[in-house]
Chain A
Amino acid sequence: MAELKVIVFQLKDEEYAIPVQQVRSIEKIQHITRVPRVPKYVKGVINLRGVVTPIIDLRMRFGLEEAAFSDHTRVIIVAFDDIEVGLIVDAANDVVDISTEAIEPPPEVVDATTADYINGVVKIGKRLFILLNLEKVLKTEKG
C-alpha cells in the first residue's frame, strides 16, 4: 500500500494537502514587496534567504474573500519544475500520512473555481483533505 506524506494547511474552513516532496519550507509572514501589474493574487515578492521569491495569496487564487494576516498565517514555499513560489495560507496544521488508495476523485459539488486545482480528496476519520494540484495552481493562466 503506497503511502503519501502530505503537508496539511487551512484555507477558510477547509483543509488542503500538498505532498511533502513539493514543499521546500514553511515560513512566517514577512515583509512582502508589491510587484506592479501582475495578477491580483500575486502579492509580491519576499527575500527568502537571499532568493527573491514570488508570493501567491491562495485565498485570492481560489476566489475566496481576502483575510487579514494573523499569527497563524503561513507562507508555504513550494517548488514545481523550475518554479519556486510561496503560498499564503491561513495556517499550516499538520503532516499526515495518507494511503494513495484512499484518494477519491473530487466530489462534483465542489464549486467550479476550485475544482480545477484539485487532484482528489482524502477522508481520514472525520477530516477531509483536499489534494492540491500544484501544477494547475502555478501554470494555468490566471483569471
Chain B
Amino acid sequence: MDMSQYLEVFIDESKEHLQTINEQLLELEKNPDDVSIVNEIFRSAHTLKGMSATMGFEDLANLTHQLENVLDGIRNGKIAVTPELLDVIFRAVDDLEAMVVSIAEGGDGKRDVTEVVAQLKQIEKGEVVVTPQKSHSTYEQTYDEFEYTILKQSAEQGFHSYEVTIKLRSDCLLKAARVFMIFEVIEQIGEVIKSVPTVEMLESEQFDDQFVVTVVTKVSQDELQKRIMKVSEVEEVRVQSVDLHRSNLPVEQKEEPKEEQKEETKTVEQTVEKKQEAQEEKQTGKQVSNKTIRVNIERLDVLMNLFEELVIDRGRLEQISRELNNPELHETVERMSRISGDLQNIILNMRMVPVETVFNRFPRMVRQLARDLGKKINLEIIGAETELDRTVIDEIGDPLVHLLRNAIDHGIETPDVRRAKGKPEEGTVKLKAYHSGNHVFIEIEDDGAGISREKVLKKAISKGIVSEQNAANLTDKQVYELIFASGFSTADKVSDISGRGVGLDVVKSTIESLGGSVSIDSEEGVGSVFSIQLPLTLSIISVMLVEIQKEKYAIPLSSIIETAIVKKEDILHAHNQKVIDFRGKVVPLLFLKDIFEVPVIKEEDDFLSVVIVRKGEKMAGLVVDSFIGQQEVVLKSLGNYLTSVFAISGATILGDGQVALIIDCNALIK
C-alpha cells in the first residue's frame, strides 16, 4: 500500500506528539508524582508508535516502544522519576525527533538507537543508569540477526571475534583521523563487523573519546591490542572475545516482552481513556480548531503582490467612477473596495504566526543548559500566542537563543551564590511577548546578578570601545548598550554556553536588520531585562503620507510622535538652527524640501505643517507642506541599483500607481 499520501500528515502529527511529550516531560520533572502527566506522555508515545509502525518506520516504532515500556514502569510506580532517568528519556525523544526530521527531509528515518534502547531497557529492568556518557556498560554491543550470523560463520571458519573498546586520549585533537587510522590497522588484519557509535558518527566526531568495534580476525587478542595501541593518542584498548551466546540474548528477549506489553497497553489504554474522558474531549476539540494546511511562503508573497496590483487598479477604478459619476458604477466600485479591504486583512493575517513556534523549543534548551551549568532555573513563558509575521519569526529564533543563553550563563548565579545572596536557589527567567501598537515586544527577564557598570566599563575601556574620559559621563543605559558593541564579552571565563566570540553585537544587528531594536535595563544584584521591539510585519507598514511641493513621501508611523501646525513667527533660532518649542521641549526643525532638494513651485504659507518624529530619546520636527493621511503600505526596496539613498529606506506604490518614497527618520536625526 502506498503510504506517501499520508506522509505529510504523519510528519505533522509526529511533530505534534513529540512536542507534547517534550512539554509533558518537563511538567513531569516538576511534578514527578503526577500520574496523569505520565499518562499523557504515554498516550502520545503510543500513538506515535502505532503511526510509525503503520508507516513502516521500524526504528522509530522500536524506540517508541521501548520508551513506552519505561513510561509504563513509571506509571505503575516501579520506576522512580529522577533527573538522570529523564535525561535518558529526553535523549530518546531527541533521537525520535531526529528520525522524524530525517523522514520529513525525505530520508528513511533510520538511526542507530541501540545505545538509547539499551539504556531504556536497563531502566525498565530497574537498574539505575549511571550518567550515560561515562558508563562503559552502555557501549555493550548487541547484534542483530545478520551480524550474529556473520559472527557465527566466522567462528566456524576459525576466526576470532573480539569486542574492542578503544579509548582515545581526552586531549586528542583529530579524533576522526585517529578513528580512521585505527580502522585501517584493524582492516589489515581482520574485518570490522560493527561499531558503536556507527562509523558515520565516528567520522563526524560524534562521540566522546571511546568507542567499541566488533572485529573478526585470525590474530590473537594480544596482538590486536598491541597493533591498535601503536596508533598515537590512543589511551586504552580493551579486547574481549565475543560471547556468541550472550550477544544472541537481546534478540530473543525482544520478542517476549513485546507480547506482554501489547496486552498491558490495551488495558492501560482502557483505564486511561476512562480516567481522562473529559480531558480527551477537550483535546480533540483543540485539534479540530488547529486544522491547518501548509502553504509555501513564496506563494503567499505572490498572492500579496497580485493583491497589490489589484489595489492599484482599484484606485484607478475609483477615480474613473468618480469622473463618470454613474451611481451604479459607483456602488459596484465601492463594494469592490470593501471586499478587497477584507481580502487584504486576510492575506496579512495569513502570514502571521504565533511566537509559540519559536518559544516552544526553549524549555528543553533551558533545562539542558541549567543541568549543564549546575544551575536551577525556572523558565516562565508569557504571551506565546502573540502573533508575528512569518519572516520575522524565521529570523528571531537565533537572537532569542543567544539572549536566553546569555541570561542563563551570565545572569543567573549558581545555587550557592544565590543562597548566599538571600535569593531563592532557583533562578527565574521570564520570556514575555506582547503586542503594543504596531510592534511586538519580546522581553527576556532574569533575576540574576544584573550587569555591573564597573565591570562593563573596565572591559570596554580595555578593549578600546570607549575612552576613559567618555566612560565617566555615560548613563547606566549607555553603559549597558556597550555590551552590544562588537568584540565585547563580559564573562570572566569563556564558557561553552555563550561568549564564544560571537557576541551580542550579532543579536543587535540581526534585530536591527528586521527593523527592530533591542534595549537593556538592569540592576546589579537584582537582574536584567533585555527588551526587543519588533515590527509586526516586515512587508506592510503604517505610514503617514505627506506632500512636499508636488511630491509625496511616506513617514513610518512608528517613528511619529504627533503632527502639529506651527505659526511661522513661533520658529526660534538657536545656533543657526531653526527650532520650535514643542510641549516644553526644544525640537530642531528639518525642512524636508531642502534636505530632499525638492523643486520649489509654490511659496510657503504662514503656517508650517510639522511632523514630530523621534529616534530613541531624540526628537525632530520634519517640515512638510501638507498632510495627506494615514495609510497601510507595502514596503518595497529601491532595487540593487540605488543601494544607499540618503534618508530613504524604501518605496511603496500608492493607490494611483505612483511610487512614493519612504523616509528613514533614523538617518535624519543625528
Which of these, A42, A49, A82, contacts B640 with CB under 8 Å? A82
In whole angstroms, what is the CA distance A85 to B639 when docked?
9
- Within B276-306, which residues are at the interface with A (CB < 8 Å)? 305
Q: Return the chain A residue nearest B660 by Cβ.
A: A33
In whole angstroms, what is the CA distance A38 to B597 when docked?
10
Give the distance to chain A from B312, nearest Cβ to Cβ, in Å.
8
Contact present for A54 and B642 (CB under 8 Å): yes
Contact present for B551 and A33 (CB under 8 Å): yes
Which residues of A sit under 8 angstroms from B308, Cβ to Cβ? 50
Contact present for A50 and B305 (CB under 8 Å): yes
Are A54 and B638 CB-contacts (below 8 A) given A31-B657, A31-B658, A47-B653? yes
Q: Is A20 an interface residue (CB 8 A)?
A: no
Are A84 and B661 CB-contacts (below 8 A) given A36-B646, A37-B597? no
Q: Can you list 18 A-B contacts with CB-CB less than 8 angstroms, sorted by A residue number?
A: A33-B551, A33-B651, A33-B661, A36-B646, A36-B647, A44-B659, A47-B312, A47-B653, A51-B636, A51-B639, A52-B636, A52-B637, A52-B659, A53-B639, A82-B640, A83-B640, A83-B641, A84-B641
Which of these, B309, B551, B596, B651, contacts A52 with CB under 8 Å? B651
Q: Is B3 an interface residue (CB 8 A)?
A: no
Contact present for B638 and A52 (CB under 8 Å): yes
Q: Is A115 an interface residue (CB 8 A)?
A: no
Contact present for B639 and A37 (CB under 8 Å): no
Contact present for A38 and B642 (CB under 8 Å): yes
Q: Is A136 an interface residue (CB 8 A)?
A: no
B residues at A contact (CB < 8 Å): 305, 308-309, 312, 551, 595-598, 636-642, 645-648, 651, 653, 657-661
Give the distance to chain B from A47, nearest Cβ to Cβ, in Å.
5
Are A45 and B638 CB-contacts (below 8 A) given A37-B597, A37-B645, A38-B645? yes
Are A45 and B651 CB-contacts (below 8 A) given A38-B642, A54-B639, A82-B640? yes
Are A47 and B640 CB-contacts (below 8 A) given A33-B551, A36-B645? no
Which residues of A sit under 8 angstroms from B595, Cβ to Cβ? 36
In whole angstroms, what is the CA distance A42 to B644 when docked?
13
Task: List 6 additional contacts besides A36-B596, A44-B659, A83-B639; criterion CB under 8 Å.
Answer: A33-B551, A36-B646, A45-B639, A45-B661, A54-B642, A84-B641
In whole angstroms, what is the CA distance A84 to B640 when docked?
7
Q: Return the chain A residue nearest B305 by Cβ.
A: A50
Which residues of B sit under 8 angstroms from A46, Cβ to Cβ? 659
Flag A64-97 by CB within 8 Å of B: 1 or 0 each. 0000000000000000011111000000000000
Are A45 and B659 CB-contacts (below 8 A) given A52-B651, A54-B638? yes
Which residues of B sit under 8 angstroms from A24, Cβ to Cβ? none
Contact present for A47 and B641 (CB under 8 Å): no
Give the distance to chain A from B31, nearest Cβ to Cβ, in Å.
55
Give the distance to chain A from B661, nearest Cβ to Cβ, in Å.
6
In whole angstroms, what is the CA distance A76 to B544 when docked?
33
Which residues of A sit under 8 angstroms from B312, Cβ to Cβ? 47, 50
Contact present for A36 and B598 (CB under 8 Å): yes
Contact present for A49 and B309 (CB under 8 Å): yes
In whole angstroms, what is the CA distance A37 to B668 when docked?
13
In whole angstroms, what is the CA distance A54 to B636 when docked?
12
In whole angstroms, what is the CA distance A53 to B658 when docked?
12
Give the distance to chain A from B571, nearest Cβ to Cβ, in Å.
23
Give the distance to chain B from A97, nearest Cβ to Cβ, in Å.
29
Q: Return the chain A residue nearest B307 by Cβ.
A: A50
In whole angstroms, what is the CA distance A98 to B254 when docked?
78
Q: Return the chain B residue nearest A82 by Cβ.
A: B640
Which residues of B sit under 8 angstroms from A28, Cβ to Cβ? none
Contact present for B641 and A36 (CB under 8 Å): no
In whole angstroms, what is the CA distance A127 to B634 when docked?
47
Which residues of A sit under 8 angstroms from B598, Cβ to Cβ? 34, 36
Which residues of A sit under 8 angstroms from B642, Cβ to Cβ? 35, 38, 42, 45, 54
Are A37 and B596 CB-contacts (below 8 A) given A52-B637, A52-B659? yes
In whole angstroms, what is the CA distance A138 to B641 when docked?
8
Which residues of A sit under 8 angstroms from B636, Cβ to Cβ? 51-52
Question: Which of B638, B659, B661 has most chain A Cβ within 10 Å?
Answer: B659
In whole angstroms, what is the CA distance A6 to B637 when docked?
30
Q: Return the chain B residue nearest A53 by Cβ.
A: B639
Which residues of B sit under 8 angstroms from A42, Cβ to Cβ? 642
Give the distance to chain A from B668, nearest Cβ to Cβ, in Å.
12
In whole angstroms, what is the CA distance A35 to B595 when docked?
12
Contact present for B309 and A50 (CB under 8 Å): yes
In whole angstroms, what is the CA distance A35 to B647 when docked?
11
Contact present for A35 and B641 (CB under 8 Å): no
Which of these, B640, B648, B653, B657, contacts A36 with CB under 8 Å? B648
